[in-house]
Amino acid sequence: MVFQRYVPDHLIQKFIRGWLARKFFRRLLNEYNEKERENASVVIQKYFRSWLARKSFRKMQHEILQKQENAACILQKFTRRWLAQKSYKKLLDEHNAQEQENASLIIQKCIRSWLARKSIRKMRDEKTLQKREDAARILQRYIRRWIARKNNQKKQRVELVPHEQGNITLTLQNSIVTMDGATDEVGIKEAYDCKIISDVECLQMLRELKRRHNCLRKRRQNFLRAVEDKMRLAIILKEEKDRRIKAATLIQARWRGYNLRKHCEAICNKLTATRIARNEVASSEEKAERMQPIINRVMTEMGNLNSDRLYVRYRATEVLYKFVGLSQLCAQYVFENGGLECILDSLEGCNRGVGSTEVVIRLCSVMWSVLKFKAIRDKLCESRQQDIVKQCYHFMLAFHRVPDVVTYLSRIVVALDGQQYKKASYFVAELTKKFAKLSGCDERIIALRNLQNHLN
């Protein structure tokens, strides 16, 4: 008990300091653990947020890709529909044009057959009229002959009447004296051998002649009236034929004009629909580019000839091909700003693939569009011309399977007077070997012949 009552102070202090140190250490340890937990929670939150962000980004990316795919499908659907409509309209226009052509042929056939029938009917009527005229002439001839004969007989009868009367009186007197019982008629008939005509019979004959004359006059009048009617009918038929021919010609002209106007209207509608479709499909950049002046577009596309992207080069060549060949000012600008060098460098960077071949065709066409102007060719020195001709021969041999490339480059060689190039005969011989199996109407054969004629 004495030991416990009298504990030294330094022991108490030691235990207290130890307790305080342990308490301070526990507090530091708790603070450290709390800080570690906070750091761990921050790290967990950071990774969780990054995971959520990646998940959200993937979801957004998937949605964007899905939207792009849907937009591409819609665009393809509308493009296919537009192409199908275009093909259907083309077939429909061809069918309508064929039907119109067949209808016009049928109309022409019917009109020609009607005109032929009218011509045959006219010839038949003319032949019938000619026969009637011949019959009328014969009838008139016989009537005139009969009238002349009757008039002659009448004159003879009038001249013989006084002489016959005197003879009859003398005969009667002699017959009374010398021949009794003989009748007057027998004596006259035996003495003069003629027939006695009484006044009644003479009057009847005159009346009969007058009646016949009136009948002939009426027939002649009827015949002349019929001839006049036939002539009038022939004139009317001729006028009607001319009128129908003019009407048929007018109908054909208007029909052809209608077909031509319809065809032109279809072409205009087709161009309008194509322009509207291109404007709908075109992006805002393309629309803004189209609104620029031509020379600005040429300036912009000049720098894209040597681009690493094949599509950019093809687009640049399309723009230059469209405008350089139409304007000497654009060709002059391309030439003065090193366009020929850019074109040749771009040709050297192309391979023989399908896409590169399309670019090569456009580049060759642009180069020909620049060099086809004599004012530009005159500015080239001889060494530069020789260099261009040399590279043209090389590209012709490299792309000998492409007709457009051979055609454009041969034109350039002929325009630049490639006779002075030393190896021209070698390249021509090689091209001749390459084109040995081609037909004579092939574009490459024609271009090679023109080149050979120029060299000779």
pLDDT in tens, 251-310: 888 888 888 888 888 888 888 888 788 777 766 766 676 676 767 777 777 777 777 787
Q: How confident is the model at residue 162 (pLDDT cuts 50, 70, 90)?
A: low
Q: How confident is the model at residue 1 (pLDDT cuts 50, 70, 90)?
A: very low
19-50: per-residue pLDDT in tens?
A: 998 999 999 899 999 889 888 888 898 888 88
Are 450 and 427 spatial neighbours (Cβ–Cβ below 8 Å)? no
The yes-or-no verdict on residue 167 having pLDDT over 80 is: no
Both tokens assigned to 283: 């992006």
CA 110 – CA 443 distance, rounded (Å):
45
Domain locations in the chain? 2-99, 115-263, 293-455
306-345: per-residue pLDDT in tens?
A: 777 878 888 888 888 877 777 777 788 778 878 788 888 8
pLDDT value at residue 451: 85
Residue 6: enclosing H or E segment and its boundaries?
A: none
b/e 147-174 (16+ beta carbons within 10 angstroms → b): eeeeeeeeeeeeeeeeebeeebeebeee
Evaluate the CA torsion angle 257, 258, 262, 263 in order and state its sign. Answer: negative
pLDDT value at residue 221: 85
pLDDT value at residue 140: 79
377-397: per-residue pLDDT in tens?
A: 888 888 888 888 888 888 888
Q: How confident is the model at residue 185 (pLDDT cuts 50, 70, 90)?
A: very low
The yes-or-no verdict on residue 194 having pLDDT over 80 is: no
Question: 12 to each of 7, 18, 48, 424, how far by Cα in Å?
Answer: 8, 10, 52, 118
Between 202 and 145, whose confidence is greater?
A: 145
- State which of 59-68, 135-144, 351-360 shows the largest mean pLDDT: 59-68
The alpha carbons of the chain give a radius of gyration, in whole angstroms, of: 61
Between 212 and 290, whose confidence is greater?
A: 212
Q: pTM for the full model?
A: 0.41
The owner of tokens 């040995």 is 436
Supply the CATH classification number for the domain 293-455.
Answer: 1.25.10
pLDDT value at residue 362: 84
What whole-number percentage of the chain has pLDDT above 70? 85
The yes-or-no verdict on residue 180 having pLDDT over 70 is: no
Question: 73 to each of 278, 279, 281, 421, how far by Cα in Å?
Answer: 18, 19, 14, 55
pLDDT value at residue 193: 47
Which of 170-178's residues contact partners 24+ apart within 8 Å by CB, and which partners?
Answer: none
Write down the mean pLDDT value for the chain.
Answer: 79
Q: How confident is the model at residue 6 (pLDDT cuts 50, 70, 90)?
A: low
CA 303 – CA 293 distance, rounded (Å):
17
406-454: per-residue pLDDT in tens?
A: 899 888 888 887 556 788 888 888 888 888 888 888 888 888 888 888 8
Which of 96-103's residues contact partners 24+ apart within 8 Å by CB, and which partners?
Answer: 97/259, 97/263, 100/255, 100/259, 101/259
